[in-house]
Chain A
Amino acid sequence: MSDVTLDKAPVAPREETPFRRFVSEFMSSKIAVGGLLVFLVIVVVALLAPWIAPQNPYDLGQIDIMDGRLEPGEVGASGITHWLGTDDQGRDMLSGIMYGLRISLTVGAGSALIACLVGASLGLLAAYAGGRTDTVIMRLVDLQLSFPTILAALMILAFLGKGIMNVVIALVIVEWAYYARTVRGSALVERRREYIEAAQCLALPTRRILFRHLLPNCLPPLIVVGTIQVARAIALEATLSFLGLGVPITEPSLGLLIANGYEYMLSGKYWISFYPGVALLVTIVSINLMGDHLRDVLNPRLKK
């Protein structure tokens, strides 16, 4: 990224060109653009859920227990057609999924963002400071990565108990190491470059060098890891909620909706678990498709 401007005058509009090139390269893959579009639709649906959902599934005045376990397409007592059926409480599944997406996306994206902030800062620090700081941070990363994510998350939630905040904390603790390792890798290369030396000679404060000079040049791999980690965070949250360790019943994410339908599945009432699962799947796959292509676009080794 950094040697892009070497042969140009420093007044060249640097921010414009790489970004535009990045956009056009990203748009070159139909699959990635498809993933992006699907993901945007999901985000819009989640954002607009209170206005576009057929009913508010958590407003007791709008649901009728007599509508419980209606099959997809049946019309309930309140005159609403339940296109995806209803659950055991008589809640419209389509509405439940729209509201569930809000929680799944918030928890997934929120924890990925915090993990990114924590991990990237520690990774930068490790690469820039080196020596003992580097050793300590990287030992922690190794320790974290030597345990499977699900196990570490389980352990943390066993101590902290249920709750959205606790799930976010668990996801952050589980995921920061991926960001730290990625950023350290690219920062180790970047910090030997002349512009860092120049910044040091200007006696700029370390914090400024780290975040204004070093970090922007380590961004591309971070974006790739971040995209894929959002998908992983959403999947892990769903898994934890399915196991009954994640979000509380009052704030059901997709994972909890799927868990609610588990007992009805054995009697053939598949839709209570099936459709939230499809929503979860489409979300994860659309993010992964984008991430996969981003990796190709942002990989400097593939550039000419």
Chain B
Amino acid sequence: MTVYLLRRLLQSLLVLVAMSVIVFVGVYAVGDPVEILISPDADQFERERAIRALGLDLPLWQQYLVFVKNALQGDLGRSFVFSEPALQLILQKMPATMELAFGAMFISILIGLPLGLYAGLKPESPGAKVIMAGSILGFSLPTFWVGLMLIMVFAVQLGWLPSTGRGETLYGWSFLTANGLSHLLLPAINLALFKISLVIRLTRSGVRETMLMDYVKFARAKGLSPARVTYVHVFKNILIPVVTVVGLELGSTIAFSVVTESVFAWPGMGKLIIDSINVLDRPVIVAYLLIIVLMFIVINLVVDILYSVLDPRVRLEGQA
């Protein structure tokens, strides 16, 4: 186990170094670093000072080391637009994104689990067929268009829910106030759509497999009521894999929040990066990319470790 952990940790470090080189090459070598990293408004004197400060007169490999050294000290440059340290800017927006992502994952389980349970228990019923067809739609519909449709129906036509922003926040969280919660609902549903389909499918196949197990047959033979068999014996056993998989989807939920945040003007990291790309606020872009890459490497590492704990075959394969 320790050997596996060390190997996996080493791999993650290698990926991190590789990605930092890619980001570095992307920013410093593809474009002109002077134009990318120094505000276009700077005058000649400021320019030269900045070139020296950033070490742009050094050879490329030395520049990379300077870049890494600054990054390790948390210095990823200042935003041209907000004149704040880029890193700080992004960290400020992180709670909003996390709130949205966790809200979406909660909704996906809340809606997906009962629907999947129904589809698994009565696979031949018309209701189950509608649910399964719906889950195919959930996989094919582009997130951003569904978001627009949600705004059109629930915010514009019916006027039930607000369409943009976070609403009132308490300690920086929207879900603690009624107004904030009403703002959170639509974006969270939008982001959850894909995961709902996933949960429906996982639950359905889980239920169908579990129903054939001996302990379910035994519970029935004991004369337990069908409801008790379903909700205690079957439900408990499918819950663990479903929740695990949804948890593993956290990373992709955060990534796809870029789209949802733009549609609903949700002030999170995703909206910040799109705005920054559109106004070429490059220090923020670099900082975002590095943070998100780091986040993904950590998530992937945790996922792999979790898997190896849950499934010993993974661990053994890794050593072979």
Least CB separation from B144: chain A residue: A242
Are A150 and B258 in touch, CB under 8 angstroms? yes
Are B152 and A158 in touch, CB under 8 angstroms? no
Q: How far is the CA of A288 from the CA of B140 in the complex (A)?
A: 8
Contact mask for chain A residues 250-290; partner B; CB cutoff 8 A; 1 contact, 0 none: 00000100100010011110100110010011001100100
Q: How far is the CA of A5 from the CA of B31 in the complex (A)?
A: 56
Can you name 18 A-B residue pairings with CB atoms under 8 Å? A143-B18, A146-B300, A148-B256, A150-B255, A151-B258, A151-B292, A154-B277, A157-B277, A159-B31, A242-B259, A243-B144, A243-B274, A266-B151, A266-B156, A277-B145, A277-B149, A281-B140, A288-B136
Are B289 and A158 in touch, CB under 8 angstroms? yes
Are A245 and B277 in touch, CB under 8 angstroms? yes
A154 contact set on B, CB distance < 8 A: 258, 273, 277
B140 contact set on A, CB distance < 8 A: 231, 235, 281, 284-285, 288
B67 to chain A, nearest CB (A): 15
Are A268 and B292 in touch, CB under 8 angstroms? no
A81 contact set on B, CB distance < 8 A: none
Given A239-B259, A245-B277, A288-B136, decide whether A281 and B152 contact each other with a Cβ distance below 8 A. no
Are B148 and A258 in touch, CB under 8 angstroms? yes
Q: How far is the CA of A266 from the CA of B277 in the complex (A)?
A: 25
Are A268 and B156 in touch, CB under 8 angstroms? yes
B interface, CB within 8 angstroms of A: 15, 18, 23, 26-27, 30-31, 136-137, 139-145, 148-149, 151-152, 155-157, 163, 251-252, 255-256, 258-259, 262-263, 273-274, 277-278, 285, 289, 292, 296, 300
- Chain B CB within 8 A of A73 CB: no
Are B285 and A277 in touch, CB under 8 angstroms? no
Are A158 and B277 in touch, CB under 8 angstroms? yes
Which residues of chain A from 229 to 256 have any CB-CB distance to chain B below 8 Å in the complex? 231, 235, 238-239, 242-245, 255
Q: How far is the CA of A292 from the CA of B282 in the complex (A)?
A: 42
B274 contact set on A, CB distance < 8 A: 243-245
- Chain B CB within 8 A of A160 CB: yes
Least CB separation from B277: chain A residue: A158
Are B255 and A277 in touch, CB under 8 angstroms? no
Q: Is the interface of B mostly helix, strand, loop or mixed?
A: helix
A255 to chain B, nearest CB (A): 8
A151 contact set on B, CB distance < 8 A: 255, 258, 292, 296
B296 contact set on A, CB distance < 8 A: 146-147, 151
A7 to chain B, nearest CB (A): 37
A150 contact set on B, CB distance < 8 A: 255-256, 258-259
B255 contact set on A, CB distance < 8 A: 147-148, 150-151
Given A239-B259, A280-B142, A284-B142, decide whether A159 and B149 contact each other with a Cβ distance below 8 A. no
Scoring A147, A160, A231, A288 by chain B CB atoms within 10 A of each residue's CB, the highest score goes to A147
Least CB separation from A156: chain B residue: B26
A158 contact set on B, CB distance < 8 A: 26, 273, 277, 285, 289
Nearest 8 CB-CB pairings of A with B: A148-B255, A159-B26, A277-B145, A151-B255, A148-B252, A235-B142, A242-B144, A288-B140
Are A274 and B152 in touch, CB under 8 angstroms? yes
Least CB separation from A267: chain B residue: B156
- Chain B CB within 8 A of A199 CB: no
Q: Is the interface of A mostly helix, strand, loop or mixed?
A: helix
Are B145 and A243 in touch, CB under 8 angstroms? no
- Chain B CB within 8 A of A80 CB: no
A266 contact set on B, CB distance < 8 A: 151, 155-156, 163
Are A281 and B277 in touch, CB under 8 angstroms? no
Are A243 and B27 in touch, CB under 8 angstroms? no
- Chain B CB within 8 A of A155 CB: yes
Are B137 and A243 in touch, CB under 8 angstroms? no
Are A265 and B277 in touch, CB under 8 angstroms? no
A144 to chain B, nearest CB (A): 11
Are A265 and B27 in touch, CB under 8 angstroms? no
Least CB separation from B262: chain A residue: A243
Q: How far is the CA of A160 from the CA of B36 in the complex (A)?
A: 12
- Please tell me which one of the listed residues B31, B141, B156, B285 contacts residue A265 in the complex, with CB atoms under 8 A apart: B156
Are A265 and B151 in touch, CB under 8 angstroms? yes
A280 contact set on B, CB distance < 8 A: 142, 145
Q: How far is the CA of A127 from the CA of B274 in the complex (A)?
A: 39
Q: How far is the CA of A88 from the CA of B277 in the complex (A)?
A: 25
A245 contact set on B, CB distance < 8 A: 274, 277-278
Are A159 and B30 in touch, CB under 8 angstroms? yes
Given A146-B296, A148-B256, A159-B27, decide whether A281 and B148 contact each other with a Cβ distance below 8 A. no
B259 contact set on A, CB distance < 8 A: 150, 239, 242-243
Are A285 and B137 in touch, CB under 8 angstroms? yes
B23 contact set on A, CB distance < 8 A: 155
Q: How far is the CA of A197 from the CA of B144 in the complex (A)?
A: 51
B263 contact set on A, CB distance < 8 A: 262
Least CB separation from A277: chain B residue: B145
Extra contacts, 19 of them, besides A151-B258, A157-B277, A258-B148 (Cβ < 8 A), are A146-B300, A148-B251, A148-B255, A151-B255, A154-B277, A159-B30, A160-B30, A235-B140, A243-B144, A243-B258, A258-B145, A266-B155, A266-B156, A270-B152, A273-B148, A281-B145, A284-B141, A285-B140, A288-B136
Q: How far is the CA of A70 from the CA of B289 in the complex (A)?
A: 42
Which residues of chain A from 131 to 169 have any CB-CB distance to chain B below 8 Å in the complex? 143, 146-148, 150-151, 154-155, 157-160
- Please tell me which one of the listed residues A148, A155, A284 contacts residue B289 in the complex, with CB atoms under 8 A apart: A155
Q: How far is the CA of A274 from the CA of B147 in the complex (A)?
A: 11
